[in-house]
Structure 1
Amino acid sequence: MTGLQQTDALPAKVKGRSQQTAKQPNLFSRIVTDLKRDKHLYVLIGPYMILFFLFTVVPVALSILISLTYFNMLEFPRWAGWSNYMRLFLDDDIFIIALKNTFIFAIITGPISYIACFLFAWLINELRPKARAIMTLVFYAPSISGNIYFIWQIMFSGDAYGIVNGFLMKTGFISEPILWFQNPKYTLMIIIIVQLWLSLGTSFLAFIAGLQTVDRTLFEAGAVDGIRNRWQELWYITLPSMRPQLMFGAVIQITASFAVADVAMNLAGFPSVQYSAHTVVTHLIDYGTIRFEMGYASAIATVLFMIMLGSNLIIQKLLRKVGD
C-alpha cells in the first residue's frame, strides 16, 4: 500500500510544479513588463544612449575593425590581419619611444595630478563660500584658458631673455643660455611640469562638488564611534562618501595622462627633437592626419584604448578599497 500511495502521489507533485512553472512569467514577459513600468525612464535616457552608441560605441568598433586592414583613404580597405600590430611592436622603433614616453608621463602626472586635485579641492572646501568661489576660479582658470603655451615658451625661451635662463644666469648657476626645447634631456620634464599646471580641471570641480554633498551628520556619528582627527574623518567618512566623484575623477585623469598631445606639440614642436616628447597620441596624429595610413593609425588607437581600459579597471579595484 505504501508503494502505491507514493506512486500515486508522485504525479500530483510533478503536476503541481508544472502548474507553478506555468504561472511564472517567462523572460520575454518580464522584459516587456519592466519596459512598460519604466518607460518614462527609458524615454529620458534614450537620446543619450543613442548619441553614445552612434558617436562612441560605433567609432570604437569601426576603429578595431579598420585596424585589421590596409586603408589609405583612397582605396577600399584591404584585409591585413595582424600585420599592423606586428609592424607596430616589431618594426616601429618610434612607436616604442612614444610608448615609453607615454608611460613615463602617465605614471608621473596621473597620480600626482589626481592627488593634487583632491587636496586642493579639500582645502578650498573649508573656506567661506565667497572665498571658495574665487579660489575655485583661480585654480580652474588655466585648464580653460585658450593658447596659454606662449607663457611657458617665454619662460623657457632658449635665449638670454627667457625668464628661466635670465634667472639662472643672474644667480650664477649657468654661464650661457640653455636651449630647453632643443635639448632632449629637458623636454619631457618641462612638458610634465606644464601638464601638472593644467591638471586642475574637470576632476577638480567634481571633487569640490562631491565634498559639498557629504552628509555632515556622519562626522558627528563618527565622533561617537571613535574618530578623533581630520585624517580619520577623511579616510573613513569623506572618501567613502565621494566614491562616485573619485571614480569619475580617476577616469578623467587617466585619460588626460595617456592622451597627451597638445602640450608636447605646442612646446616641443612636431616632431620633437630626437622624439623626446613623442607620445602615442602624437604618433597617432602623424599616421592618421599626415600620412593617412588609417589602418595603421587605427591599430595605434586600439592599443591606446586597451591601455586606458586596463588602467581604469585597475584604478576601480583600488578605489573600492577606500575606507575599508
Structure 2
Amino acid sequence: MICLFYFYPMVQAFILSLQSGTGTNLTFVGFDNYARLLKDPTFLTTVKNTVIYLIIQVPVMILLALFISVLLNDKTLKFKGVFRTAIFLPCVTSLVAYSVIFKYLFGLDGIINLFLLKLSIISEPIQWLTDPFWAKIAIITAITWRWTGYNMIFYLSALQNVDQSIYEAAKMDGASSIQTFFKITIPMLKPIILFTSITSTIGTLQLFDEVMNITQGGPGNATMSISQYIYNLSFKYTPDFGYAATVSYAIVIMIVIFSIIQFKVAGDKND
C-alpha cells in the first residue's frame, strides 16, 4: 500500500518532471526543466516570498505556541480547558472559510483598519491586500493565527509528562522562572521543538490556501507561493504539467535542505 500510494506517485511525478509540452502532449526533455527553474523570474519570486513567510512566521509561531503552552500548564490557572479549546479551535476551521474571513478583516474598510483608526494608531486605512509589504503581513498573521494552537498541543502534552519534582528541586535551589524555562523546559522539549519546526517548515513551503484566497498571489506576484505557482502552471496558464512537476520537486529539495539544517542545528549531537 505504501509503495502504491506513496512511492509510485513520487516516481511518476519525477518522470513527468523530465517532460515538457502543452497539456498531455508531452515530450522527453531530460533535465531542461530543472535548468529552466534557475532562469524563471516568477519561480524565483515565489521562492523569495515563501522563504520570507518561513523565516518570519515559523519562529514567531513556535515561540508563541511555547509561551502559551507554559502558561496553560500552570496548575493554578482556572478555566484551562476553555483556553485550550479556544486556542486550538482555529486548527479545525476550514482553510477556505478562515482565509475568506481574514480577507474581509484586512480589507480597506475591514475591522482591522477601523480598529486602528478608532485608536488613532493610523491616520488613513492601510492597503493590507494591495501593498506588497502589508499583504505579506496579512498572510503571515493568518497562518500564525491558525497553526499556533496546533503546535501548542504538542508542547502542552510534553510539559504535562515532565516530572514536577524537577521544577520543585530547581525552585528550592533558588532558580527563577526565566532560568527554569531556559534551563529545564526548553531542553526537555527539544525533541518536540525540532519536530514542530520541521512540520511547520514543510507546511509553510507548501503554503497555498491562504495566498490563493486572501490575495490570489497579488499585488503582481508579491505574495505568490510556490504551490500557487504550481497550480497556475497546471490550471490557470497554458497547462504545462511537466514543468509544474519540476517546480513540485523543487519544494521537495527545499524541504530536505531545511530539514537537514534544522537537524544539524537543533538535533542531538549523538544522532
TM range (shorter): 0.7 to 0.9
Matching of residues 32-181 of structure 1 within 5 Å: 50-51=1-2, 53-70=3-20, 74-75=24-25, 77-90=26-39, 92-127=40-75, 131-146=79-94, 147-158=97-108, 161-169=109-117, 171=120, 173-175=122-124, 177-181=125-129
Among 163, 188, 200, the residue aligned to 2:136: 188
User: Counterpart of 1:200 in 2: which secondary structure?
Assistant: helix
Among 226, 232, 256, the residue aligned to 2:203: 256
Among 240, 252, 261, the residue aligned to 1:305: 252
Shift of the 289–205 alpha-carbon distance from structure 1 to 2, 3 Å rule, reads: farther
1:202 has 2:150 as partner: yes
Shift of the 56–120 alpha-carbon distance from structure 1 to 2, 3 Å rule, reads: farther
State the distance in 1 between where 2:6 and 2:63 align.
29
Equivalence for 2:192: 245
State the distance in 1 between where 2:64 and 2:156 align.
12
Mapped contact 1:95–1:283 kept (Cα < 8 A): yes
Among 183, 196, 213, the residue aligned to 2:161: 213
Shift of the 174–228 alpha-carbon distance from structure 1 to 2, 3 Å rule, reads: closer
Tell me how far 1:59 sits from its aligned partner: 2.8
TM-score, reference length from structure 1? 0.72
The structure showing larger relative contact order (alpha-carbon pairs under 8 Å, at least 6 residues apart) is: 2
Equivalence for 2:265: 318
State the distance in 2 between where 1:230 and 1:96 align.
45
Shift of the 83–219 alpha-carbon distance from structure 1 to 2, 3 Å rule, reads: same
State the distance in 1 between where 2:203 and 2:213 align.
16
Alignment: residue pair count: 265
Tell me how far 1:312 sits from its aligned partner: 1.3
* 139-148 or 122-131, which deviates more: 122-131
Q: Deviations over 1:65-115 (max 9, x none)?
A: 32122265524x53211110111111x211111111111111100111111
State the distance in 2 between where 1:298 and 1:74 align.
13
State the distance in 1 between where 2:69 and 2:251 align.
30
Q: Deviations over 1:206-259 (max 9, x none)?
A: 1111111112333355568x5723333333433333333223211221122222
State the distance in 1 between where 2:116 and 2:86 align.
28
Mapped contact 2:99–2:209 kept (Cα < 8 A): no
Among 234, 239, 264, the residue aligned to 1:288: 234
Equivalence for 1:16: none
User: Counterpart of 2:147 in 1: which secondary structure?
Assistant: coil
State the distance in 2 between where 1:185 and 1:250 align.
25
Mapped contact 1:110–1:253 kept (Cα < 8 A): yes
Shift of the 306–227 alpha-carbon distance from structure 1 to 2, 3 Å rule, reads: farther
Q: Deviations over 1:115-137 (max 9, x none)?
A: 11111111111145872221111
TM-score, reference length from structure 2? 0.85
Consecutive unaligned residues in structure 2, runs of 5 or more: none
State the distance in 2 between where 1:208 and 1:157 align.
35
Consecutive unaligned residues in structure 1, runs of 5 or more: 1-49
Tell me how far 1:168 sits from its aligned partner: 4.8
Mapped contact 2:194–2:267 kept (Cα < 8 A): no
Mapped contact 1:214–1:242 kept (Cα < 8 A): no
Mapped contact 2:113–2:126 kept (Cα < 8 A): yes
Root-mean-square deviation over aligned CA pairs: 2.7
